């Protein structure tokens, strides 16, 4: 029995109009929520809708009966802009949602609504937080509904918004909607204090617009089963139907900063110390659940995001991120790689990878091919060359079994390079080689040259890479002094590069 027949059957048993039930499919509406506000005409269907029937009062009444006395909507959240928002998780908070019905001149407004999630948020201009309902989603969630005739099939609609129609919600007993002459859904999002960072920046409404659809009962289960965007969102309070939440996120170095790792790739020979052969920005978030019996946090999921910043090398490389643990781990990784300045993924992405033993992920393959300027082996490392955006990547790791946080090594973890022409690995000092076929496998964990300098360094994200052939110590003349005798007077040496010796490619540029 397919779902359409089954609902028709249920409707018949309930003494309801079976034709209305049998034909009800989710319908995308014409109007949307733009810049945090929407007045959505429920009688106007989106031009790309598959439905051939207009929505009228009878249709709304059929939806009402199908959902047991409420009207249910689903929102395509489209806010990958601020805070930790990204393609795989985006959110907004709902300040108010009203259904406004006109019965031949008599207006009735119903103002009670629910969502599946909430968060604690401060309003714009405030710092104290209160609880607000939230809508979460993800780009590319590719919802699969029971019927391909549904406007939700293959889309990113993800967040349920239910409007109650009882006496408490409407102030009166709402008559049958069959005779309603107009019907609107008014939605206003919460204007959060984005200056506070997350969670406020995450749940802002700076992007959009958000499309909205009236949802049929058969499409509710796939939407709520998918829980798009829930697992990676910050500070999620589950209200109903939501199970994929974490208790907390721990961000390294923060939710809004990156580690910038830079390499010298001539290993084991001395390089030219320009530390720009490959420059990558990355950050890592650990999704934590609290183990009540052990009274400790455990890691249940990991997200990482990063960008190629510069590549000043003749050689090509593969770039890996390893997150060492004392305990073997298993799980799955979803690898995303995005076309520059878009939310569109590179061909053959996303990719799935199974983890068995440790988290050791090849994130970038053949960096020379991935970031190139015609006629030059160098990208963003030479003067008088227009700046080039690099690829963006993101990783989502779901562990089969949560692992104690104390079993994880300390950040910045092990971001390493496999230099393809030489077959050497290059790690931060202190890490072991990982690729059994590499030329230095098992032979080095120091990764320092004869002068005691490393082949890989980690910097804060306001560091600029030196120009091609410019010694790091010449580009930043306090670097060596700080290295030899660190003190509070020179610990921000990287904020004082010498004019003309570095490419001032800022985070605002490469973090697109």
Partner 1 sequence: MKNGFITFAACLLVACGGGGESASTPTTPVETPVVTVPTQPQPESTALKDNEVAMTTEFNQFATYLTQLPDKTAQFKGTQIFIKVYTHDGNALYLGKLHSNLALSLHLPNHIKSVKIDVFSSDPQDPQITEEITL
In the region spanning residues 258 to 287, those forming contacts with partner 1, defined by CB under 8 A, are 259, 270, 272-273
Map residue 487 onto helix, strand or coil: coil
CB 236 to partner 1: min, Å: 9
Among 198, 210, 211, 444, binds partner 1 (CB under 8 A): 198
Among 348, 451, 499, 508, binds partner 1 (CB under 8 A): 451
Binding flag, residue 34, partner 1 (CB under 8 A) = no
Among 385, 429, 432, 438, binds partner 1 (CB under 8 A): 429
CB 478 to partner 1: min, Å: 8
Binding flag, residue 179, partner 1 (CB under 8 A) = no
Binding flag, residue 293, partner 1 (CB under 8 A) = no
Footprint on residues 221-260 left by partner 1 (CB under 8 A):
234-235, 237, 246-257, 259
Q: Is the dihedral of CA 424, 426, 430, 432 positive or negative?
A: negative
User: Cα 465 vs. chain centroid, distance in angstroms?
Assistant: 27
Among 13, 347, 352, 410, binds partner 1 (CB under 8 A): 410
Binding flag, residue 1, partner 1 (CB under 8 A) = no
Contacts of 15 by beta carbon, 8 Å cutoff, 6+ apart? none
The answer to whether the beta carbons of residues 355 and 396 sit under 8 Å apart is no
How many CB atoms neighbour CB 472 within 10 A? Answer: 25
E-strand stretches of 292-369: 296-312, 317-323, 329-338, 351-357, 359-364
CB 194 to partner 1: min, Å: 9
Binding flag, residue 33, partner 1 (CB under 8 A) = no
Task: In whole angstroms, give the CA distance from residue 123 to residue 117.
Answer: 18
Task: Pick between residue 211 and residue 501 the one whose CB is nearest to partner 1.
Answer: 501
Task: In whole angstroms, give the CA distance from residue 339 to residue 95.
Answer: 35
CB 221 to partner 1: min, Å: 27
Please name the residue that has the structure tokens 């509904």: 145
Footprint on residues 93-152 left by partner 1 (CB under 8 A):
120, 127-131
Please name the residue that has the structure tokens 């670097």: 479
Binding flag, residue 294, partner 1 (CB under 8 A) = no
Q: Across the strands, what pairs with 133? A: 118
Task: In whole angstroms, give the CA distance from residue 472 to residue 457.
Answer: 11
Structure tokens at 210: 């958000």
Footprint on residues 482-511 left by partner 1 (CB under 8 A):
483-488, 491-492, 494
Binding flag, residue 325, partner 1 (CB under 8 A) = no
CB 245 to partner 1: min, Å: 10
Stretch that binds partner 1, among 32-40, 162-170, 197-205, 348-356 (CB under 8 A): 197-205
User: For partner 1, what does the binding mask look like between residues 379 and 398, x meaning CB under 8 A?
Assistant: --------------------
Angle between helices 3-13 and 57-66 (to 10 degrees): 90
CB 301 to partner 1: min, Å: 13
Footprint on residues 53-92 left by partner 1 (CB under 8 A):
84
Structure tokens at 218: 């058969």
CB 38 to partner 1: min, Å: 27
The enclosing H or E element of 475 equals helix 472-475
The torsion of the CA quartet 204, 335, 116, 75, rounded to 10 degrees, works out to 60
Task: Pick between residue 106 and residue 492 the one whose CB is nearest to partner 1.
Answer: 492
Please name the residue that has the structure tokens 């003190």: 487
Total chain residues near partner 1 (CB under 8 A): 71
Task: In whole angstroms, give the CA distance from residue 393 to residue 87.
Answer: 11
């Amino acid at each position: 029995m397919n779902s359409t027949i089954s609902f028709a059957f249920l409707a018949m048993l309930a003494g309801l109009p079976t034709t209305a039930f049998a034909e009800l499919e989710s319908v995308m509406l014409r109007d949307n929520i733009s810049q945090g506000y929407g007045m959505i005409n429920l009688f106007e269907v989106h031009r790309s809708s598959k439905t051939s029937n207009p929505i009228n009062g009878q249709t709304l009444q059929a939806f009402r009966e199908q959902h047991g006395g409420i009207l249910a909507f689903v929102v395509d959240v489209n806010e990958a802009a601020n805070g930790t928002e990204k393609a795989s998780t985006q959110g907004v908070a709902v300040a108010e949602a009203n259904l406004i019905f006109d019965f031949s001149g008599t207006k009735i407004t119903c103002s009670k609504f629910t969502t599946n999630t909430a968060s604690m948020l401060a309003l714009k201009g405030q710092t104290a937080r209160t609880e607000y309902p939230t809508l979460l989603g993800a780009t590319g969630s590719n919802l699969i509904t029971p019927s391909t005739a549904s406007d939700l099939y293959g889309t990113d609609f993800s967040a349920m918004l239910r409007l109650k129609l009882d006496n408490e919600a409407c102030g009166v007993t709402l008559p049958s909607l069959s005779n309603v002459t107009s019907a609107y859904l008014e939605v206003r999002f919460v204007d959060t204090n984005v200056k506070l960072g997350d969670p406020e920046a995450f749940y802002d409404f700076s992007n959009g617009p958000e499309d909205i659809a009236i949802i049929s009962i058969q499409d509710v289960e796939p939407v709520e089963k998918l829980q798009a965007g829930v697992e990676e969102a910050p500070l999620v309070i589950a209200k109903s139907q939501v199970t994929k939440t974490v208790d907390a996120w721990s961000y390294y170095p923060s939710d809004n900063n990156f580690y910038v790792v830079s390499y010298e790739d001539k290993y084991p020979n001395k390089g030219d110390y320009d530390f720009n052969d490959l420059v990558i920005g990355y950050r890592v978030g650990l999704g934590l659940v609290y183990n009540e019996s052990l009274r400790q946090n455990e890691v249940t999921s990991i997200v990482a995001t990063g960008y190629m910043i510069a590549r000043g090398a003749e050689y090509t490389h593969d770039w890996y991120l390893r997150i060492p643990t004392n305990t073997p781990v298993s799980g799955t990784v979803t690898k995303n790689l995005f076309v520059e300045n878009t939310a569109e993924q590179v061909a053959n992405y996303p990719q799935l990878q199974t983890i068995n033993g440790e988290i050791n992920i090849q994130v970038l393959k053949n960096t020379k091919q991935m970031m190139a300027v015609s006629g030059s082996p160098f990208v963003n490392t030479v003067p008088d060359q227009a700046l080039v955006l690099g690829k963006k990547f993101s990783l989502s790791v779901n562990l089969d079994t949560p692992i104690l946080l104390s079993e994880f090594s300390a950040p910045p973890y092990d971001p390493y390079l496999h230099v393809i022409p030489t077959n050497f690995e290059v790690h931060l000092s202190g890490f072991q080689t990982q690729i059994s076929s590499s030329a230095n496998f098992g032979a080095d964990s120091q990764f320092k040259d004869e002068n005691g300098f490393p082949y890989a360094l980690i910097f804060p994200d306001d560091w600029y890479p030196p120009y091609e052939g410019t010694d790091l110590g010449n580009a930043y003349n306090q670097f060596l002094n700080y290295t030899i005798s660190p003190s509070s007077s020179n610990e921000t040496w990287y904020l004082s590069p010498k004019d003309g010796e570095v490419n001032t490619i800022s985070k605002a540029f490469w973090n697109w």
